[in-house]
């Protein structure tokens, strides 16, 4: 295997791993966000029935919901960034293969 092709393959592996890692983290954070939204929804449903003053708890849960969504969105942005590097690697690998093949098939 040529040095250039080996390098491109390693870069592709790292980029793919980074993309998968970012996607998995985004999924984890979105799942946490869903849990926070459900918690807030349950509290709001209770308040509707009880008409009691739980304003502090509502404000806390609203903040936690916004923070959870922000974390998930940041992670999704990172995943998209990592994903954007993959086509670059596809092209680099194909070019390195073509250059190696061309060199090997050259007749002396």
pLDDT at 24: 92
Residue 32's nearest CA partner among 68, 2, 81, 8 is 68
pLDDT at 108: 64
| pLDDT, tens only, 31-60 | 998 998 898 888 878 877 776 566 777 888
The position carrying tokens 């960034």 is: 81
Q: How many other CB atoms are found less than 10 A from the CB of residue 73?
A: 14
pTM over 0.85, yes/no: no
| For residue 96, pLDDT beyond 80 | yes
pLDDT at 46: 81
Q: How many other CB atoms are found less than 10 A from the CB of residue 46?
A: 13
| pLDDT, tens only, 57-82 | 788 888 999 998 999 899 889 888 98
């Amino acid at each position: 295997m040529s040095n250039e092709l080996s390098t491109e393959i390693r870069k592709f592996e790292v980029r793919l791993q980074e993309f998968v890692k970012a996607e998995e983290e985004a999924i984890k954070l979105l799942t946490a966000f869903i849990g926070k939204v459900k918690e807030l929804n349950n509290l709001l449903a209770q308040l509707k029935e009880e008409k009691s003053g739980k304003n502090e708890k509502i404000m806390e849960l609203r903040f936690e919901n916004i923070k959870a969504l922000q974390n998930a969105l940041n992670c999704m942005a990172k995943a998209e960034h990592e994903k954007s590097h993959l086509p670059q690697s596809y092209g680099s690998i194909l070019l390195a293969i073509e250059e190696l093949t061309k060199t090997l098939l050259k007749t002396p």
